[in-house]
Every structure is written in structure tokens, then in C-alpha cells.
């Protein structure tokens, strides 16, 4: 018979306001096996823990039930407390009187009744608890960063700096991400390439960093400290190890009319190409959708001019497997498609552009060599209208409900840069609200208004009509003066909402991490664990977790790196002892458990058994690898013969809880 102590927590008024905690402690005192029962204001506090410790010693308790908040919150705290006085930490159970009782009920009488029932269930379970000992599993001292934008690069650099090997997987032919496409950065207006490309080069030259460009994650297996990832290295038709990036093939390629995605399709590239001058790795790629050789088998110019023989038209996708201790997700964002916002005539006029397209139009490496010209007729625009919140803060299904956060600042940046470079240009910015919190951000916006004379108008553009004279007729409302405005603009720039990259969702499934309804990765705690996912060993970096500007992205990237380093520093991590095990005598070898196991922890072995008639027989039985098992319990439900059971959550324990609740 166990000697059980019951400790009922008030959680200030969180529990005590709705549950009569004294009555709960008093009632539970009468349960069989309970030798001590008390209540206290904050059980998780130092003095609360001391009450538990003292009671264990004084009453020789063999089991403890704490009636408090969710075990997710403080189970670890209480387990540590009981362990410190010599009790096995798995002899403790938490009854959740807060999230599952006091917070969701209003009536004190019924809430108290339910609290007693929850306490009884926990007591019934503790009666059947057995001491468990946690094993250890080694940590692979290598990290994986998925995504090679500024977030991924910064995370990789920091992890490498701490002395660990780190791989970057980037789906594009070069690392650099969105930041590589940006012209200038706010609020200092320094050139994005000037601060990004040194980091790209640093990543490439760092011995600890291994870049898999033009690659994708194909499969993820394993668990914290021990992930096995299959990487798909997509065929680029150029041997990475041989290509020197001389660019001769790109000069000679006869297929010159391929939309250049790096310049937002505003100009053309060749079929064999290097995305941009500072690409890392500086290795060409052949685009099979346009290459004449790959499409029709006729051409082969690049292969002839390549002096190192790097061109390989027969290259296939390659799959490699690597093991990692930690994974950092840095999959980034994209601007949304604008086909649902055709009131701004984006599909009708080339002079209606997105902000990212404007970045390229203003960039020295862009289609116009840095001179801002209208895409339609290459003339200098004299009136430019910016529309903010295109697809952001939408209450209907066509846009995003959230604020994209970066648009107010980059629009102010664009407006300011244009006014500085072309003072004869009138710039209008239509906004719902101007949101510029951040260090030196509001000052920056005010400068745009006060020093640079940008016309900020509170209100939305209702309609953009392209006219045959080349002007864009902009109809808008000025909400402050309550007027309709008609502006003949030369260009309209749309601040499109940003959304997570499309690869994020399938990746989340592979990583068994959570996402919100907008497909942003969910952090383990919105305030206190912002860079960890709820899945152990998976960390979040950059805009994959929510809209972010560059300073914030870099800060989060380093934070994610710190968390990953914290994990990689350990030689081993304590395993969860609540894993499944199979009773070999009852196992009939049906494979049901093996099929449902999401972690691949179950294998079947042929084992020799001594039969009742003194003969021996070879039987096929299930065997659980405790280092891989995550204790999800799926196998215990699937097992038809009742051979599978879960430590700490055995079938008999669960049934005892159910019986106690139904009593």
C-alpha cells in the first residue's frame, strides 16, 4: 500500500477563486492510502516545495499528488522537488485543477466537485505508479539550418562560431534570400548587399559551415539530439565541385529570353545562369525549362565553352542522408500574389509594381542599373503613389488578417530615397495607420514627412485606371479632410502583404512541429520561449515564425543559435522513461504496433522461447527501442493482444483513473 500525500495549490486566486481548495484537501484526506493532505497558496514557490519535501520525510510518503496547474507548467518543478528528498520523481502525479477546472468553470460548488474527482483520479493512478529511471541518449554534435536567407546565415555563423558543424539547406541555387534582393535597409539606409554579402562569403568560407544550395529536405526521422535528415540535392546540371563561376557559359548561352526571377522578372537572364554577381556558391545552374539542350537535345554551347568540364546534362537529383542533433527552421517569407487586388490594376499595367519589384528597379544591379524608370516606357516617373496594407489587415478571406509589420518602414524608405534622388518627383503614401515602433524607426518616418516632403494621406486607394496617355488615374479617399482625391500618377507601388514560404507547411509535417492558421511556425511559448518550437530540438529563426524586419530577424536568428548551441553542448540528454515496452509472452507478432509507430521505434525480432512442454520454439515478437520511442502510446492502443504497455501510463493506470472518475 502506498503512503500518499496530497498538496492542493491555490495558485493565488487562479484556482482558489472558483474551487474551495480547503474542502478539496479535506475530502481527499479520506481517500484510501492518503496519509497527509494540505493546501497552500503557491505550491510551486520555494516554501510550497518545502511543504512537500517535509511531508515526504515526516510521513514517509511513497507517492505524491499535487493538485495545481497543467503538468506542462510545473510537473518538472515538482518532480525535482520530490527527487531532492529521495523519492523517485515518477511517483508524483499532477492533477490539473487550473486549466481543466477553475479557469473553465464559474460555479464554485460544481468546480469543487470536479476538483475532487480529478484529485481522486490522480490518487488512483499513483497507487499503481512504479519508480522509473530515465536513460540517456547521445547528442549528435551537428546542426541543420533549413533556409539560407539572412536568418539562416546568421544562425549558422553563430553555431559555427561556437565550434559545431552546421549545414545550411537552401532551395534556391544561392544563399542570400530576400535580403539579397533588397536595395537599401532602414533606418540607416545602408546598402543591403554591402552588409549581407560579407556574411554570405563568411558562411561559405567557414570550415564548420556546409552549404547545400539548390537542395531540399526530403525526409526527417528521429528525435531531439538524434535526427536523421534526407537531403534532396536537386540536379543543377553543373558539377558544383568543378564550376569556378567564371560565367563564360552564361555569356555564350543562346537562350537569352528567360525571365530573371532575381530581378522579379523585370528583365531576362540566360538558360544557364548564376543568379547574381555575389551568389554563394558562385556556381552556374542550367534551367531545364528553357535549356535547348535539355529540351530538344540541340545546342551544347555551354559544355563546349566550359574549360573545366563542369557541365553535366545527365545530372540527376541526388539524395544524401545526414545526422543532426538540432534543427533550425529559417524558411522565410514571400510577398502574396496580387491577382485578388486588381482594383490596383497590377495585372493591367507594368507601371503598377510591388515594393520588392521597386527594390530591383532602384538597385544598381537591377534592370535599369539603378535609375528609376517606368517599366512601360523607360521614362522618369514624376508622380508616384504608394499603397500600403495591400492584403494586410484584411477582415475578409482574400487577404491576411495580420499586419505584415515591415511595410510602413520600407515604404517610408522608398519614398525618402525617391525624393532624395529625384526631387522633382511627387510622392504620395496612402496608409490606414503608420506603424513604426522600433529603435530610430519613428524618427525615420517623421524625416520622410518633415524633411523630404512625402505626402502621407490617411485613406485607401479605391481604384487605379491605366489610361492610354500612359498615366495611371488613381482614385482615393483622404479620410482626414473627407475628400475624394484624383491623382494622375506615373507609377503605383503596392506594399503587398507577406506570407510564409510555401515549403513551410510540408516541412512542418515532416518535423512534427506546429503552425498557426496563417502557416507561421508556432513558438513553444509566445513570450517566454519565442525561438523554440514545441517539438524538442527544433528551433525557429526569422520570418517563418511571424513577420519581421532585418534587425529583428538577426536577433532571433542569434537567439535560435544560442538555443541550438545549448543543446549541442550536452554530450547526452536525459530520455523520457515513459516509453513503451512489449510483454513478449503476450505478443503474437502481428506487426500492428510497428505500423502505427510514427517514430520507427518498433522492430520485430525472432526469439527463442521455452514452451510448457519443455521444447523450444522461435517466435516473432515486437521489440521497442527506448531511445527512439517518444511515449506517444499509439502502439498500446493498436496492440490487439494487450502486450504493449507504456511506462508511467500503463493500461491499468489509465483504467484506474477512469474508474476513480466514474465512481
Partner 1 sequence: MIFTYYPGCTLRTKAKDLDRYARLSAEALGITLEEPENWQCCGGAYSNVNDEAATKLSAARVLNSAKELGRPLVTVCSACHNVIKQTNYDIQHNATLAYKVNNYLGLDPQYNGETTVYHYLEMLRDVVGFDKLAEKVVNPLKGKKIAAYYGCLLLRPSRALSMDDPENPTIMEDFIRAIGADPVIYSQRVECCGGYITLEDKAQASKRSSAVMTDAEENGAEMVVTACPLCLYNLKKNSGSQLPVVYITELLAEALGVKEESNE
- Reported as type and span, the H/E element at residue 9 is strand 4-9
Q: How far is the CB of 342 from partner 1 (least distance, A)?
A: 4
**Rounded distance between C-alpha atoms, residue 387 and residue 374, angstroms:** 17
Residue 340 interacts with partner 1 (CB under 8 A): yes or no? yes
Residues 4/61, Cβ–Cβ less than 8 Å:
yes
Closest approach of partner 1 to the CB of residue 502, in Å: 21
Contact map string, positions 150 to 179, toward partner 1, x by CB under 8 A: ------------------------------
Beta-bridge mates of residue 372: none
Which residues is 620 bridged to in the sheet?
Answer: 606
CB of 262 or CB of 341, closer to partner 1: 341
The smaller minimum CB distance to partner 1, of residues 305 and 473, is found at 473
Cis peptide before 547 (omega within 30 of 0): no
From the list 80-88, 338-346, 353-361, 635-643, the region that binds partner 1 by CB under 8 A is 338-346
φ/ψ region of 572 (left if φ > 0, alpha if ψ in -120 to 50, else beta) reads beta
**Residue with smaller CB distance to partner 1, 271 or 474:** 474
Closest CB to partner 1 among 295 and 467? 467
From 195-203, 345-353, 515-523, 564-572, give the range in contact with partner 1 by CB under 8 A.
345-353
- The reply to whether 341 sits near partner 1 by the rule CB under 8 A is yes
Here the contacts of 273-278 (C-beta below 8 Å, separation 24 or greater) are 274/173, 274/174, 274/245, 274/247, 274/250, 275/172, 275/173, 275/174, 276/174, 276/176, 276/180, 276/365, 277/365, 278/176, 278/180, 278/193, 278/197, 278/200, 278/201
Q: Which of 644, 543, 632 minimizes the C-alpha distance to 589?
A: 644
- 659 three-state secondary structure: helix
> Could you tell me which stretch among 43-51, 279-287, 336-344, 406-414 binds partner 1 (CB under 8 A)?
336-344
Closest distance to partner 1 from the beta carbon of 401 (Å): 15
Among the listed residues 309, 253, 320, 241, the one whose alpha carbon sits nearest the alpha carbon of residue 281: 241
Which residue's CB is nearer to partner 1, number 345 or number 550? 345
Using the minimum distance from each CB to partner 1, give the nearer residue, 122 or 390.
390
Q: Which residues lie across from 321 on neighbouring strands?
A: 230
Q: Among all chains, which residue has been given the C-alpha cell 538540432?
A: 326
**387 part of the interface to partner 1, by CB under 8 A:** no
Give the nearest distance from C-beta 135 to partner 1 in angstroms: 56
Under the binding rule (CB under 8 A), the answer on residue 529 touching partner 1 is no
Q: Give the Cβ contact number of residue 317 at 10 Å.
A: 12
Binding flag, residue 342, partner 1 (CB under 8 A):
yes
In angstroms, the CA 252 to CA 180 distance is 26
- Contact between 29 and partner 1 per CB under 8 A: no
Instruction: Choose between 227 and 344: whose C-beta lies nearer to partner 1.
Output: 344
Question: Is 396 a binder of partner 1 (CB under 8 A)?
Answer: yes
Closest approach, Cβ 465 to partner 1, in A, equals: 4
Compute the least distance from the CB of residue 53 to partner 1, in Å: 58
Site string for partner 1, 196-225 (x = CB under 8 A): ------------------------------
Smallest gap from residue 349 Cβ to partner 1 (A):
8
Q: Which helix (H) or strand (E) holds 157?
A: helix 150-161
Beta-carbon neighbour count of residue 431 at 10 Å?
21
x/- mask, partner 1, residues 450-469, rule CB under 8 A, reads: -------------xxxxxx-
- Identify the CA nearest to 40 among candidates 71, 73, 72, 78: 78
Q: Cβ closer to partner 1: 345 or 575?
A: 345
CB of 116 to partner 1, least distance (A): 40
Minimum Å distance from CB 458 to partner 1?
Answer: 22
CB of 466 to partner 1, least distance (A): 6
Half-sphere exposure in the Cβ direction for 37 (13 Å, CA):
20
Give the nearest distance from C-beta 430 to partner 1 in angstroms: 17
Q: How far is the CB of 456 from partner 1 (least distance, A)?
A: 25
Task: Give the span between the Cα atoms of 346 and 246, in whole angstroms.
Answer: 38
Nearer CB in complex with partner 1: 467/502 = 467
Q: Which residue number, 155 or 349, has a Cβ lying nearer to partner 1?
A: 349
SS3 567: helix
CB-nearer residue toward partner 1: 390 or 538: 390
By C-beta, is 207 or 396 nearer to partner 1? 396
Least separation in angstroms between residue 387's CB and partner 1 is 13
- Does 337 bind partner 1 (CB under 8 A)? Our answer is no
Name which position in 13, 316, 347, 603 contacts partner 1 (CB under 8 A). Answer: 347
Give me the residue label for grid cell 470536479. Answer: 114
How far apart CA 621 and CA 328 sit, in angstroms, is: 37
Using the minimum distance from each CB to partner 1, give the nearer residue, 261 or 342: 342
Distance CA 419, CA 413 (A): 10
Task: Pick between residue 21 and residue 474 the one whose CB is nearest to partner 1.
Answer: 474
Q: Measure CA 299 to chain center.
A: 43
CB 35 within 8 A of CB 59: yes
Please state the closest distance from residue 385 (CB atom) to partner 1, in A. Answer: 14
Give yes or no for a contact between 549 and 569, defined as CB atoms under 8 angstroms apart. Answer: no
| In the complex, least distance from residue 457 CB atom to partner 1, rounded to whole angstroms | 21
Nearer Cβ to partner 1, position 340 or 382? 340
Interaction between residue 345 and partner 1 (CB under 8 A): yes
Measured from the CB atom, the residue of 91 and 464 that comes closer to partner 1 is: 464
Q: Which residues pair with 221 in a beta bridge?
A: 228
Q: Site residues for partner 1, window 464-493 (CB under 8 A)? A: 464-468
Dmax over CA atoms of the chain, in Å, equals: 102
* Count of residues interacting with partner 1 (CB under 8 A): 16
Closest distance to partner 1 from the beta carbon of 575 (Å): 52
Find residue 496's DSSP bridge partners: 390
Closest CA to 330 of 523, 504, 517, 550: 504
Q: Which stretch binds partner 1 (CB under 8 A): 224-232, 340-348, 576-584, 620-628?
A: 340-348
Report the DSSP pairing between strands 529-533 and 491-496.
unpaired
Asked whether position 343 contacts partner 1 by CB under 8 A, the answer is yes
CA distance 305 to 630: 55
Counts for the chain of helices (H) and strands (E), in that order: 17, 36
The contact set with partner 1 (CB under 8 A) reads 339-343, 345, 347-348, 396, 398, 463-468
Amino acid at each position: 500500500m502506498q503512503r500518499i500525500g496530497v498538496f492542493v495549490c491555490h495558485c493565488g486566486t487562479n484556482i482558489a477563486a472558483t474551487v474551495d481548495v480547503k474542502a478539496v484537501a479535506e475530502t481527499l484526506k479520506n481517500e484510501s492510502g492518503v496519509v497527509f493532505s494540505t493546501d497552500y497558496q503557491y505550491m510551486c514557490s520555494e516554501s510550497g516545495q518545502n511543504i512537500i519535501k517535509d511531508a515526504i520525510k515526516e510521513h514517509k510518503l511513497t507517492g505524491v499528488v499535487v493538485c495545481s496547474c497543467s503538468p506542462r507548467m510545473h510537473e518538472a518543478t515538482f518532480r525535482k522537488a520530490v527527487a531532492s528528498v529521495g523519492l523517485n520523481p515518477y511517483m508524483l502525479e499532477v492533477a490539473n485543477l487550473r486549466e481543466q477546472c477553475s479557469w473553465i468553470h464559474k460555479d464554485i460548488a460544481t468546480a469543487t466537485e470536479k476538483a475532487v474527482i480529478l484529485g481522486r483520479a490522480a490518487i488512483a493512478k499513483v497507487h499503481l505508479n512504479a519508480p522509473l529511471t530515465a536513460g540517456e541518449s547521445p547528442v549528435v554534435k551537428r546542426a541543420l539550418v533549413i533556409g539560407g536567407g539572412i536568418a539562416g546565415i546568421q544562425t549558422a555563423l553563430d553555431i559555427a562560431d561556437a565550434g559545431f558543424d552546421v549545414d545550411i539547406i537552401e532551395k534556391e541555387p544561392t544563399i542570400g534570400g530576400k535580403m539579397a534582393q533588397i536595395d537599401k535597409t532602414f533606418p540607416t539606409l545602408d546598402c543591403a548587399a554591402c552588409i549581407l554579402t560579407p556574411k554570405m562569403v563568411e558562411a561559405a568560407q567557414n570550415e564548420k559551415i556546409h552549404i547545400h544550395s539548390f537542395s531540399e529536405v526530403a525526409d526527417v526521422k528521429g528525435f531531439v539530439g538524434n535526427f536523421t535528415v534526407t537531403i534532396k540535392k536537386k540536379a543543377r546540371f553543373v558539377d558544383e565541385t568543378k564550376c569556378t563561376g567564371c560565367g563564360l557559359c552564361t555569356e555564350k548561352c543562346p537562350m537569352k529570353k528567360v525571365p530573371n526571377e532575381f530581378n522579379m522578372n523585370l528583365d531576362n537572364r540566360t538558360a544557364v545562369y548564376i543568379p547574381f554577381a555575389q551568389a554563394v556558391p558562385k556556381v552556374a545552374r542550367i534551367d531545364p525549362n528553357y535549356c535547348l539542350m535539355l529540351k530538344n537535345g540541340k545546342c551544347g554551347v555551354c559544355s563546349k565553352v566550359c574549360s573545366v568540364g563542369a557541365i553535366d546534362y545527365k545530372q540527376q537529383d541526388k539524395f544524401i542522408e545526414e545526422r543532426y542533433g538540432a534543427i533550425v527552421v529559417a524558411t522565410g517569407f514571400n510577398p502574396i500574389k496580387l491577382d485578388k487586388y486588381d482594383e490596383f490594376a497590377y495585372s493591367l499595367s507594368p507601371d503598377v509594381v510591388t515594393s520588392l519589384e521597386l527594390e530591383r528597379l532602384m538597385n544598381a544591379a537591377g534592370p535599369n542599373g539603378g535609375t528609376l524608370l517606368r517599366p512601360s516606357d523607360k521614362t522618369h516617373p514624376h508622380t508616384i503613389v504608394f499603397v500600403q496594407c495591400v492584403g494586410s489587415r484584411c477582415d475578409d478571406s482574400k487577404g491576411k488578417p495580420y499586419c505584415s509589420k515591415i511595410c510602413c518602414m520600407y515604404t517610408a524608405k522608398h519614398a525618402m530615397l525617391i525624393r532624395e534622388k529625384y526631387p522633382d518627383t511627387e510622392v504620395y503614401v496612402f496608409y490606414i495607420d503608420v506603424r513604426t515602433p522600433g529603435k530610430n524607426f519613428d524618427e525615420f518616418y517623421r524625416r520622410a514627412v518633415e524633411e523630404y516632403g512625402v505626402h502621407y494621406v490617411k485613406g485607401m486607394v479605391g481604384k487605379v485606371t491605366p489610361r492610354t496617355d500612359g498615366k495611371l488615374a488613381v482614385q482615393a479617399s483622404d479620410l482626414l479632410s473627407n475628400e475624394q482625391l484624383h491623382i494622375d500618377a506615373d507609377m503605383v507601388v503596392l506594399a503587398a502583404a507577406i506570407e510564409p514560404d510555401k515549403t513551410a507547411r510540408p516541412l512542418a509535417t515532416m518535423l512534427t512541429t506546429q503552425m498557426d492558421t496563417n502557416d507561421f511556425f508556432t513558438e513553444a511559448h509566445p513570450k517566454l520561449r519565442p525561438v523554440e518550437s514545441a517539438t524538442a530540438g527544433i528551433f525557429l529563426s526569422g520570418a517563418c515564425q511571424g513577420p519581421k524586419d532585418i534587425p529583428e530577424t538577426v536577433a532571433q536568428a542569434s537567439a535560435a543559435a544560442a538555443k541550438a548551441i545549448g543543446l549541442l553542448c550536452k554530450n547526452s540528454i536525459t530520455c523520457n522513461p515513459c516509453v513503451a515496452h512489449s510483454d513478449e509472452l503476450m505478443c503474437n507478432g502481428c506487426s500492428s504496433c510497428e505500423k502505427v509507430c510514427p517514430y520507427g521505434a518498433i522492430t520485430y525480432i525472432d526469439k527463442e522461447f521455452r514452451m510448457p512442454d519443455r521444447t523450444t520454439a522461435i517466435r516473432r515478437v515486437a521489440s521497442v527501442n527506448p531511445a527512439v520511442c517518444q511515449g506517444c502510446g499509439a502502439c498500446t492502443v493498436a496492440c490487439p493482444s494487450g502486450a504493449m504497455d507504456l511506462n508511467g501510463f500503463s493500461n491499468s493506470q489509465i483504467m484506474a483513473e477512469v474508474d476513480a472518475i466514474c465512481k
